[in-house]
Structure 1
Amino acid sequence: MFSVREFRPIFAAHVLSILGSVFAEVALAVLVFRQTGSALLTSLIFALTFLPYALSGVLLSGISDRYPARRVLVACDLLSAACVAVMAVPGTPLAVLFVLRITVSMLSPLFTGTRAASLADILDGDLYILGRSLVRIVSQTSQIVGFGIGGLVLVWLSPRGALCVTTGTFLLSALLLRFGTVDRPARRSGTGALMRESIASAGELLAHPRIRALLLMWWVPPTFFAVAEGVAVPFADAAGAGTLGFGVFLAAMPVGTVASEVLAGTLLGPAARDRIAVPLAAVSLLPMAAFAMRPPLPVAIVLLLCTGLCAAYALGMDKWFVDEVPEDKRGQAMSLMGAGIMTLQGMGMATGGAVAELAPPYVVICGGGMVGTVSVLGVLRSVRRTRTGVMSPA
């Protein structure tokens, strides 16, 4: 992959974007808490990472295919840098901080969808699948170590200083993409109202049985995975664990996910990754159902690690999805897919936390595993039943 010249700047820009996002979230959370002392307002900073995704994924996703990819990616980075730069200005009102945070979050699915579609133009065949896997590995790794790095940065810098660093990461990412990638033409032309066209095109994608089934396969498992993350604090507290135990519990699933994708990408060929996709997806939530036994913290960590180890099904899914979606809708499909994942993850976390007000955390995780397994099996039936031809371009 790294022998492909264009992939190197795209990968470096991805790392910078991830670091910038982590620094921004940590710095804003600290900044808002210092200004207000409110845990609720502070938690909204993290919630706003998820909530705008659905709106942006439907209303703006058409931009990905209607304009040249390089232009879209650079514009997203520059707009994000401008928003964060204003956040860093001393005296910026709290309401403005939240509006700017929403704006950056709405740009994120457009950026990630456009980048994912661009990888299919740059990497051929199995290299595309491995490239997508590597991008996911970096994202998962950021969950394991990113917030620790962000907290460490705040030892030396003020929250506003960290926001200035974030501005720099977005600007550097824009430079890498502007001068390190080829300026390819837009995938499709359009003269109508952008939002109306985006909504119509999203409807076309969802109306196609095969694409809808694959989108649901991307969306449903992470929704239930997030239930465990949503009750991580009360579960660790009930287990008598300190902050270290909570951190290890929260990191277990991402660690398993990274290990799974690395092993599948390096040890298995394309055909084998295709064969294991459905079985792994089918059993991916069963370890969470095993929380019915009320496991102690070490066993609970192993169970979540096992859930993460099933994540290699995504490599097979990547191939099926890019093969099925027509090229002129690829950017929008990727944006829609990412928006759905993030939105439903946020809903899964919130639902898990709400149910944990009424039931013990281990019961909530078990319920998420059981309901999730039934849901995934239903989606997998649709995935198998819809193995048909590619959607016709508009």
Structure 2
Amino acid sequence: MSAPPQNATLPDAGPARTGYRGVLAVPEFRAVFAAHVLSLLGVIVSEIALSVLVYDLTGSPLMSALVFALGFLPYAVGGALLAPVADRFPARRVLVTCDLVCAACVAAMVAPGAGVGTLLVLRCCLAVVAPVFSGTRMATLADVLGDGEPFVLGRSLLRIVSQSALLVGYGLGGLLLTVTAPRHALLVTVTTFLASALLLRLGTRDRPARARDRREGARSGLRALFAHPRVRVLLLVFWVPAMFCVVPEALAAPYTHDLGAGSPGLGLLMCALPVGTVAGELYAGARLGTATRERIVLPLLCLTLLPYVAYALRPGLWVSLLLLVVSGAGSAYTLGLDQWFVRAVPEELRGTAMTVLSAGLMTVQGAGMALAGVAAEVTGVRTAVAGAGVLGALCCAGLALACRATEGRDGADRHMTGR
């Protein structure tokens, strides 16, 4: 399929200027960015509306909670089975198709006759498609911005929007449900997915598929990806800290109860980590150069979970908030890690790699939340969080050594750090 005339003038290369402003100056990135915002708002509204709808139909808190749980678990299935799709077909076609499939699934939820079982199955379908969409979009950023600093900053902007949406999105979704029924609120999600599809269709170029041979890409894409030692290590560096960092969030409700802080305290605890993450990303992206961002990856990787250890000292609410903000700010290492990853992955496997990365992140976070609950039942909330800090820091230290051992392999030399 050839590109329509209106897309013929879209730039192939990344921005000449650096910094967030230079990235946002690229028209094609602005289309991807706006589509991301719309999709994100739609997902947040659908999660809230669907959880309320399921609770109204069943009266079961467990069934309502399953709506959120099913947002994590099927990611592994989608990542494992559908990852090669991101490279076998043109990226724009994959992105638009994913948006249309999601819109169709949510539209089916709106039907009055849709029962609880149908709603949960459709929720699973959304979660299966999500890693393919996310991975393809991230790979597209490298096509739009190049695989240097503009790519890192573009990916950072998408993460910042995601974290910021957590701070305001659920509140706005709750307000929406005060003026409309849950099924009607789902129509907002249908609209956002369709608008995202339209933006991506008209605002991005129609580039060819990355895989040279579609059949070979489907047969051996994952095997070829995991054959690279450097790629395997970097995937673990993304995944392992994410599994431990969600522990305070998963245990925020019982921890708030122990503190006697009530609902306001719970809200503050849920916001602290995203606030720190956004602040760290903004500072690293706006104030640090490329070489510095890469140089701080391993030190921050080893330190970012250590604030959790202080939970063993039974801190009060405000100290706990400070610990979470500091830990969130430590995740600024991901900007340099993004650069290492895109440099290590062969271009023809970039879509597959980003899909696997996205699927793994959601899967390990879901597993981390579940394991946090089990640990808290056995040891108590504070001990579980402090234990996550100790064990997570040890794992991160091991991964830092593995990163050092694989430098220079798979074309992944850190030549931009001056080392």
TM range (shorter): over 0.9
2:96 to 40, 52, 74: 74
Kept in 1: contact 2:87–2:352 (CA 8 A): yes
Kept in 2: contact 1:205–1:333 (CA 8 A): yes
Q: Name the structure 1 match of 2:85.
A: 63
- How much does 1:112 deviate? 0.4
| 1:215-294 superposed matches below 5 A | 215-294=235-314
Kept in 2: contact 1:87–1:100 (CA 8 A): yes
Stretch moving more, 175-184 or 144-153: 144-153
Q: What is the one-letter code of the residue matched to 2:108?
A: V
Q: What is the one-letter code of the residue matched to 1:223?
A: M
| 1:2-81 superposed matches below 5 A | 2-81=24-103
Kept in 2: contact 1:21–1:166 (CA 8 A): yes
CA deviations over 1:94-147 (Å, ceiling 9, x no partner):
111111000000110000000000000000321111000000001111111111
Task: Look up the SS of the partner of 1:51 in the other structure.
Answer: coil
Q: Partners in 1 of 2:411 and 2:328 — Cα distance?
A: 32
1:168 paired to 2:168: no
Q: Partners in 2 of 1:110 and 1:349 — Cα distance?
A: 23
CA deviations over 1:243-273 (Å, ceiling 9, x no partner):
1100110110110000000011111110111
Q: What is the one-letter code of the residue matched to 1:184?
A: R
Kept in 1: contact 2:67–2:123 (CA 8 A): yes
Q: Partners in 2 of 1:4 and 1:193 — Cα distance?
A: 34
| Structure 2 unmatched ranges of 5 or more | 1-22, 413-419
Kept in 2: contact 1:52–1:106 (CA 8 A): yes
- How much does 1:364 deviate? 0.6
Q: Partners in 2 of 1:273 and 1:191 — Cα distance?
A: 36
Q: Name the structure 1 match of 2:5.
A: none
Alpha-carbon spacing, 1:94–1:110, altered in 2? closer, same or farther (3 Å): same
Q: Partners in 1 of 2:225 and 2:207 — Cα distance?
A: 24
- How much does 1:192 deviate? 3.4
- How much does 1:91 deviate? 2.1
1:98 to 90, 96, 120: 120
Task: Look up the SS of the partner of 1:91 in the other structure.
Answer: coil
Q: Partners in 1 of 2:87 and 2:358 — Cα distance?
A: 15
2:364 to 314, 320, 344: 344
1:299 paired to 2:319: yes
Q: Partners in 2 of 1:270 and 1:115 — Cα distance?
A: 22
TM score, norm. by length of structure 2: 0.91
Task: Look up the SS of the partner of 1:216 in the other structure.
Answer: helix
- How much does 1:391 deviate? 6.1
Q: Partners in 1 of 2:264 and 2:226 — Cα distance?
A: 43
CA deviations over 1:30-65 (Å, ceiling 9, x no partner):
000011011111111000110001111111000000
Q: What is the one-letter code of the residue matched to 1:229?
A: E
Q: Name the structure 2 match of 1:132.
A: 155
- How much does 1:388 deviate? 2.0
Kept in 1: contact 2:276–2:329 (CA 8 A): yes
CA deviations over 1:143-200 (Å, ceiling 9, x no partner):
1111111111111121111100000000000000001110000001445388x62xx3
Identity rate, percent? 50
Q: Partners in 1 of 2:222 and 2:307 — Cα distance?
A: 34
1:326 paired to 2:346: yes
Q: What is the one-letter code of the residue matched to 1:295?
A: P
Q: Partners in 2 of 1:390 and 1:358 — Cα distance?
A: 43
Kept in 1: contact 2:310–2:386 (CA 8 A): yes
List structure 1 segments (4+ residues) > 3 angstroms apart after TM superposition: 189-194
TM score, norm. by length of structure 1: 0.97
User: What is the aligned length?
Assistant: 389
Kept in 1: contact 2:212–2:348 (CA 8 A): no
Q: Name the structure 1 match of 2:400.
A: 380
Alpha-carbon spacing, 1:193–1:44, altered in 2? closer, same or farther (3 Å): farther
Task: Look up the SS of the partner of 2:206 in the other structure.
Answer: coil
Q: What is the one-letter code of the residue matched to 2:137?
A: R
Q: What is the one-letter code of the residue matched to 2:375?
A: V
Q: Partners in 1 of 2:287 and 2:297 — Cα distance?
A: 15
Q: Partners in 2 of 1:191 and 1:285 — Cα distance?
A: 41
Q: Partners in 2 of 1:391 and 1:30 — Cα distance?
A: 49
- How much does 1:389 deviate? 3.4
Q: Partners in 1 of 2:191 and 2:387 — Cα distance?
A: 43
Q: What is the one-letter code of the residue matched to 1:325?
A: V
Q: What is the one-letter code of the residue matched to 1:260?
A: G
- How much does 1:322 deviate? 0.4
Kept in 2: contact 1:119–1:131 (CA 8 A): yes
RMSD of the alignment, in Å?
1.3
Stretch moving more, 66-75 or 53-62: 53-62
